[in-house]
Amino acid sequence: DAGITQSPRHKVTETGTPVTLRCHQTENHRYMYWYRQDPGHGLRLIHYSYGVKDTDKGEVSDGYSVSRSKTEDFLLTLESATSSQTSVYFCAISGLSGTTTIAFFGQGTRLTVV
Amino acid sequence: AQSVTQLDSHVSVSEGTPVLLRCNYSSSYSPSLFWYVQHPNKGLQLLLKYTSAATLVKGINGFEAEFKKSETSFHLTKPSAHMSDAAEYFCVVSDPSGTYKYIFGTGTRLKVLA
């Protein structure tokens, strides 16, 4: 398995509080991603990073911010959590498999906003 | 813009019978296509990938997919379903912009009946 660790794995938080999810990789890959998974939507990209301090928005970035101060860590922050952000969050990295770049996913973080 | 459409949200098959999960794609470029599987409460695992080397792609656990440009399809098949195949399956296209972002289909939940 690719070396990706997400923390925490489960979290319950109250509406209006800030929340930070962490993704840590040991593969030294340049690209890292945060997705959310919701029934009927598959996975949707929130933000991604193409290097230290280099990040960009995905399709569902409103209410989220990210930071990448080190190659191995990519943080996702919900600035003021809302019930609509209850979801399962997946971190991914892109790396070479043979001659193709593929994505490797973490185990996910289940976030519940009450 | 790239997109994928999974034509069935749920598929039920009997153990030992063939599996067909359908996926159509839209892409302005020669696409990179993938199938991922997600078992309950687990992360995502790569089943197979298409990158233009061969139109029939073999993956893990007996799955294969055929890329048909004329039909813009990339259906996933398996000759004989096993109980352990019960999971959610995602068809994915890679953004060709060089950022390796993935665009997911909405998923097909496969149920295998004893």
Q: Give residue-wise pLDDT tens across range A95-105.
A: 777 767 788 99
Q: Give residue-wise pLDDT tens across range B22-46.
A: 999 998 777 889 999 999 888 899 9
The CA dihedral of A40, A106, A61, B33, to the nearest 10 degrees, is -60
Q: Give residue-wise pLDDT tens across range A42-81.
A: 999 999 999 999 999 999 999 999 999 999 999 999 999 9
B101·A33 Cβ contact <8 A: yes
Closest chain B C-alpha to A108 CA, distance in angstroms: 6
Is A50 near chain B, with CB under 8 Å? yes
Q: Give residue-wise pLDDT tens across range B55-70.
A: 899 999 999 999 999 9
Which residues on chain B are in Cβ contact (under 8 Å) with A106? 43
Give the rounded percent of residues in chain A with a pLDDT score beyond 90.
82
Residue-level pLDDT at A1: 55
Residue B93 has pLDDT above 70, yes or no: yes
Contact pairs from chain A to chain B, CB under 8 Å: 51
Could you give phi then psi for residue A85, rounded to 5 degrees?
A: -95, 5
Q: Which of A85, A78, A71, A60 is nearest to A20 (CA)?
A: A78
- Decide which of A49 and B54 is more confident: A49
**A13, two tokens:** 């938080």
- Decide which of B32 and A85 is more confident: A85
Which residues on chain A are in Cβ contact (under 8 Å) with B94? 101
Return the residue in B32, B44, B51 with the most chain A beta carbons within 10 A, the one to mutate for interface testing: B44
Tallying the residues shown for chain B, one arrives at 114
Q: Map residue A84 onto helix, strand or coil.
A: helix
Question: CA nearest B33 in A: which residue?
Answer: A102
What does the alpha-carbon distance between residue A32 and residue A93 come to, in Å, rounded to a whole number?
4
Which residues on chain A are in Cβ contact (under 8 Å) with B48? none
Q: Give residue-wise pLDDT tens across range B96-107.
A: 777 778 999 999
Is A58 near chain B, with CB under 8 Å? yes
Q: Which of B29, B102, B100 is nearest to A45 (CA)?
A: B102
Residue-level pLDDT at A95: 78
pLDDT bracket for residue A24 (50, 70, 90): very high
A40·B43 Cβ contact <8 A: no
**Among residues 64-83 of chain B, which lie with CB inside 8 Å of chain A?**
none
B99: left (phi over 0), alpha (psi -120 to 50) or beta: alpha
Residue-level pLDDT at A96: 74
Is B9 near chain A, with CB under 8 Å? yes
